[in-house]
Structure 1
Amino acid sequence: MRFKSQIKNVNLFAKFCASLASLGQIAWCRLNDDDVQFTIIPDKGSQVWSVLKPETVFETYVLQSASPKNTINLEVPIQALSRALKSAHGSTSAQIRLTKKDNVPMLSLTIVINSLSSGNSLVAAPSMKRAGGAPGEFDFNDDMLDATFVEGGPRERETIITQDIPVKVLSMEVVERIHQPRTQEPDVNICLPPLAQIKTISDRFTKLAVATTKGSSSANPRLELSANMHGSLKISVRTDALNITSRWIGLVNPELDPAHFPDGSQGVRDHPSTRMKELGGPDGENEAGWSKVRIDAKDWSRVLSVGRVSAKVIACFINEGGLVLYVYLPNDENGSEDESCLTYYISSFSV
């Protein structure tokens, strides 16, 4: 079993792992010839299933195992990996590999940092003698060299740091029982505004909700998110003393691709989102045209941390059922048609 890779985009990989670490302590990592998968399934809160193309973060990708497609399954303490990657910020190069120390499997992260050091340098200065006493004539004698300290400029210094993260190697039988959640077809698909903007407003609403329910035995504050097929999104919070809403308009509702349906265009016409669009209108006054979910405010704030790695997020609303977020990462600076994707599954509470 072998895994070794040069990390191409340390900053992106570090932010990606940090966003996962905010949701749970342990991640299931599946490596194979086609992709790299990280999955977080906490006891409570949102699940995330991510599929990365190796070229998104890795420059070289060496993988070998006896399983089909050279598959390797690992249980990774994602918070420890996140901390290790933070130390690689500004590094010249970073390499990650699967190794074993004292019979314990390890993900070994080796980073190289080049820095400039200052100080005096010891250099050899030749001794000069007059040749035969003639004015202005000097004889450079190789046998007579004087070592002299001279003021030197900054010099480049290389530092190599290795950090080991203990992991568990999982058998194929163990991971076969892990399946992605099955959901209904969404009622609304909408491209979200910048997640940092949503997080600022959501966190502010949460603080107000907490402040107005102090001493209450109720659970954590819950936010109501709703959207329609006419480019509108709302975030609301309601308590006995508070009822506030923030609304976005002019957002994009992605078009459905008939190629993704067995019956083509008819599948698009029969899709719940098409019917939802017919129910609503541009003014958004018809409540029947809105799809709503109620989510845990603190869990939602942790999910929104993924905004640090992506600007393209599509939210799929399943009315009163849940929210699915598709977070897309381009494979390169130019943007690739074949994008890596993180999928978040967020459950909705009943009224």
Structure 2
Amino acid sequence: MRFRTKVFNIDCIHHFTNVVNTINKLLKKCTLRLTPDKLYFILPDQVSNGGVSMWCELKQANFFDEYQMDGVSSEHNEIYMEIIAENIVRALKSAHNAKSMKIKLTKKQTPCLTVEIELPSINSSSRLVTHDIPVSVIPRRLWDEYQEPTMPEFHVSICMPPLKTLKNIAERMKNLSTYLTLSANQEGDMVMKVETELVTVATRFQNLELPPFKDDDIASQAPSKLWPPTEMASARVDIRKFLQFLAGQQINPFKVICNIVNQSAIHFFLIHDDISLQYFIPAASV
């Protein structure tokens, strides 16, 4: 196996850093999947066990000037490794004004992702900062556990209001309840609500955009045609998981789609020119 990449453009370094910061806000440990064309940050399906799941996909050509990789074999030209996201974030903190950055897979006492950052210096020479990030290489027999998650047929799909607005509302609702109910219909209405024995607080959004479902990158299926367009589909979720999703966004997506499986799960799809990110939150039992 071999992996080596290099980037000279400081804007690309900052962009990649923002992506990794977003991943770190969403989860502690993830799987990094490398292919000749793309990089993936994956948290395998945990929804059935009450946990969140994530699938983030990056086109390597949009981030790196040089990119070389050879997988486990010519037939399976991919590499899977488990990594702690915070370790990458710490390494990239050194790169805010870097002249270049190199990332490669190395063999030290354990397999590592080695990040080499070339920094400018007062004199003509440059400084080189090196970070060795331990990783666990995942064997081929386990790869099937890290495939793109499948989404059950959802009942409602809607484009969300600005995430900053939702975050401000959810922060206030967090003081009232541990759980938040998110509801929407195919008429462009969405409601965020918390309920306690003493009070019910709700915020309603109207005339929201509906996804067109013409682009395979946006959705593989339209909402269920059996679900009445005016009827609200709802899911009650842990408000901390919802806030974790809202607080982690540093990639400035141009659209965020919310798919609701009634009383079962919420699927968020962030769309950006260079990145797509899917995030699943299961419904909490009442």
Q: Taking structure 1 as the reference length, what is the TM-score of the superposition?
A: 0.72
1:48 to 37, 54, 64: 54
Q: Which residue of 1 aligns with 2:28?
A: 25
CA shift, 1:241, in A, is 2.3
1:84 to 82, 85, 91: 91
Output the CA distance in 1 between the equivalents of 2:149 and 2:120. 45
Change in Cα spacing, 1:273 to 1:200, as seen in structure 2 (3 Å) is farther
Do the aligned partners of 2:114 and 2:130 also contact (CA within 8 Å) in 1?
A: yes
Do the aligned partners of 1:186 and 1:273 also contact (CA within 8 Å) in 2?
A: no
Do the aligned partners of 2:42 and 2:146 also contact (CA within 8 Å) in 1?
A: no
Output the CA distance in 2 between the equivalents of 1:108 and 1:79. 15
Q: Which residue of 2 aligns with 1:319?
A: 262
User: What aligned pairs does 1:255-334 form with structure 2 within 5 A after superposition?
Assistant: 255-257=212-214, 271-272=223-224, 275-277=227-229, 280=230, 289-311=231-253, 312-331=255-274
Q: Which residue of 2 aligns with 1:101?
A: 108
2:173 to 196, 205, 212: 205
Does structure 1 residue 248 correspond to structure 2 residue 205?
yes
Counterpart code for 2:17? A
User: What aligned pairs does 1:136-147 form with structure 2 within 5 A after superposition?
Assistant: none
CA shift, 1:273, in A, is 5.1
Q: Which residue of 2 aligns with 1:218?
A: none
* Secondary structure in structure 2 of the residue aligned to 1:308: coil
Q: How far does the alpha carbon of each residue in 1:143-162 deviate from its partner, in whole angstroms, 9 at most, with x for none? A: xxxxxxxxxxxx56632211
* Secondary structure in structure 1 of the residue aligned to 2:176: helix
Do the aligned partners of 2:176 and 2:196 also contact (CA within 8 Å) in 1?
A: no
Q: Which residue of 2 aligns with 1:184?
A: 152
Output the CA distance in 1 between the equivalents of 2:50 and 2:90. 23
Output the CA distance in 1 between the equivalents of 2:22 and 2:225. 30
CA shift, 1:317, in A, is 0.9
Change in Cα spacing, 1:25 to 1:44, as seen in structure 2 (3 Å) is farther
Do the aligned partners of 2:193 and 2:201 also contact (CA within 8 Å) in 1?
A: yes
Output the CA distance in 1 between the equivalents of 2:154 and 2:225. 7
* Secondary structure in structure 2 of the residue aligned to 1:307: coil
CA shift, 1:175, in A, is 2.0
Output the CA distance in 2 between the equivalents of 1:319 and 1:313. 19
Percent pairwise identity? 28
Does structure 1 residue 342 correspond to structure 2 residue 273?
no
Structure 2 unaligned residues grouped into runs of 5+: none
Output the CA distance in 2 between the equivalents of 1:98 and 1:273. 48
Do the aligned partners of 1:20 and 1:40 also contact (CA within 8 Å) in 2?
A: no
CA shift, 1:274, in A, is 7.1
* Secondary structure in structure 2 of the residue aligned to 1:272: coil
Do the aligned partners of 2:55 and 2:149 also contact (CA within 8 Å) in 1?
A: no
Do the aligned partners of 1:32 and 1:69 also contact (CA within 8 Å) in 2?
A: no
Counterpart code for 1:27? C
The higher radius of gyration belongs to 1
Q: Which residue of 1 aligns with 2:13?
A: 10
Output the CA distance in 2 between the equivalents of 1:169 and 1:47. 20
Output the CA distance in 2 between the equivalents of 1:304 and 1:207. 16
Counterpart code for 1:315? C
Do the aligned partners of 1:23 and 1:45 also contact (CA within 8 Å) in 2?
A: no
Structure 1 unaligned residues grouped into runs of 5+: 118-154, 210-220, 261-266, 281-288, 332-339
Q: How far does the alpha carbon of each residue in 1:158-204 deviate from its partner, in whole angstroms, 9 at most, with x for none? A: 32211110111111102223444433211111111221221111111
